[in-house]
Structure 1
Amino acid sequence: MKKIIFILAFFTSLSFADQNLSISKGQAVILEFSKKGLEEIKASKDEKQEPKKQRFFVHPTEDNKVILIFSSAYKKPIKKAMVTAFYSNKEKFRYDILGDEGFYPQEILKVAQSKISPPKEALKRIKAELNEANAVYASFTDEALFDGEFILPLNSSITSKFGSARVFNNTLASYHSGTDFRASVGTPIKAANDGIVRIAKDRYYAGGSIVIDHGYQIFSQYYHLSELKVKVGQKVKKGQIIALSGDSGRVTGAHLHFGIFAGGTQVDPIDFINKFNALFTQQHSH
């Protein structure tokens, strides 16, 4: 499927070209377009929505192409979307994208009741932390802060995949917005790529938290940390030790929660990294 996604985008010489793709909720597709004569790219995430202008950026290894990260939110997934590139010679290239539910299992978990039904005095803090995070994710650094492929923050087994329905104390509380890695308290955590730290603090649900901006609205997230080794505004390098893992926040035990926000929503971090890294390894023909 990956090869289809990358190859389809090069038929921009066909006027009103139309290609079909599918996307599962909580996932991203990386669309490539010819840069020559490209004026704008517009997208609508449902048939009733007026198409909106999209931010795209130069392909990280091929200067004659651009890429667009297009994502489907987990809670409000795409049913049918359309992405259209407009060129100066009046040609167009269009993707029709059909959404699906994907397959995500259910997890039964036991945690402190205060983390399910927070005390009143915690509600203000929770709201402030959510607003702070949303403001970070709404920002757009219009340059590539990343350096090549992404790496995983530690070499460990995955204990919980992205997208699981989280049933806490017999209550369906949320879905799993990242990937959990096995990590005892004090395990060194690496930055997944170069970037700038936008959040570095203790938060009610996520515990010790770090969010790194990699440019072009790609962010990586590291939660439940026991010790933070970086500060907001600090530039970090891929592989740099940014924290130690822990069991802070809403957890059943020590581990690392690793997430990726890209294309305007939370996405499956492993799926995204695989697709993004393919930009550096796949060769295309015209």
Structure 2
Amino acid sequence: MKKTLLMLILVSFVISKEYEVENGKTLILTTKDTKAENIKINNRTYKWLQHPKNSNEKILIITIPYRTKPEISNNGDISIKVIEGNYKKEQIVVAQSKAKPNKENQQRIKKERDEANKIYATYTNSRFWDSPFINPMESVITSPYGSARIFNGEVNSYHSGTDFRAKIGTPIYAANSGKVVIAKDRFLAGKSIVIDHGEGIFSMYYHCSEIKVKLGDIVNKGDLIALSGNSGRVSGPHLHFGILARGAQVDPIDFIQKINTLFMDK
């Protein structure tokens, strides 16, 4: 029954052409139509890719940015409705210098953000992964994706990843194969790693105490890449794990669940 339910997430156009997805979540469509057209939602174009398991099928990975407003997009015979997710609110206390950085650190934050955005815009076109994704560690989730966050009662943002409980020094493993495109200490993310998995999919590992890889390394799924810590803007030790896919930071747990259904037997 559980397997059947999961398979309903990934459907062929023959079964249904009306879909619903929350902001911050992922929708994956499959088709055997060699002439299937790209889909456009809120001025973002999503392109068809080769199915990782079935050579006669294509997949469309649709990732909805967190701040997307509810809307309905009609693309030919396909209708996609974006709905608002039920996300919580969190009050977090951090060092005041992290909550309200000075001018010098604000410039550093901007520089690091611009650097990352440039990397995300110039991803590897080929695919590094050919098997299901894994979580970077087996631990309790202490803060889910999408929570509205208020730092020290003033700074408002949202949680762009998922936090795993992890004492300092806990091993962190690569969610899948790819190329290390960021491996450095950053103001907000602390000691952090970003892996390019190809075709616009990136995984992120923040607040580490030690980085075990270097820029440009090719890693395999399950490789040790870092140790958890409390660097950057944090209230305590943990691992922040994120996924950016097709230009949007989405719920990493939801993304992994959806992408992994591609490898299930039909």
Normalising by structure 2, report the TM-score. 0.93
2:168, 2:143 → 1: CA distance? 17
Give the direction of change, closer, same or farther, for the CA distance of 1:78–1:263 in structure 2 (3 Å limit). Answer: farther
Residues 31-50 of structure 1 mapped to structure 2, 5 A cutoff? 31-36=29-34, 38=35, 41-46=37-42, 49=43
Structure 1 range deviating more: 167-176 or 243-252: 167-176
Question: Per-residue deviation at 1:35?
Answer: 4.3
Amino acid at match of 2:192: S
Larger Rg: 1
Amino acid at match of 1:28: T
Give the direction of change, closer, same or farther, for the CA distance of 1:171–1:231 in structure 2 (3 Å limit). Answer: same
Preserved CA contact (<8 Å) 1:45 1:78? no
Deviations 1:62-94 (A, max 9, x none): 01111111111102345122345xxxxxxxxx3
Question: Per-residue deviation at 1:31?
Answer: 1.1
Amino acid at match of 2:85: G
Amino acid at match of 1:189: I
Preserved CA contact (<8 Å) 2:63 2:246? yes
1:66 aligns with 2:70: no
Preserved CA contact (<8 Å) 1:116 1:173? no
1:248 aligns with 2:242: no
Deviations 1:230-272 (A, max 9, x none): 1111100111000010000000000000000012200000000
Normalising by structure 1, report the TM-score. 0.87
RMSD: 1.7
Structure 1 range deviating more: 145-154 or 132-141: 132-141
Residues 54-93 of structure 1 mapped to structure 2, 5 A cutoff? 54-77=46-69, 79-83=71-75
2:218, 2:241 → 1: CA distance? 19
Which of 200, 203, 211 aligns to 1:220? It is: 203
Unaligned 5+ runs, structure 1: 12-17, 85-93
1:232, 1:222 → 2: CA distance? 14
Amino acid at match of 2:49: F
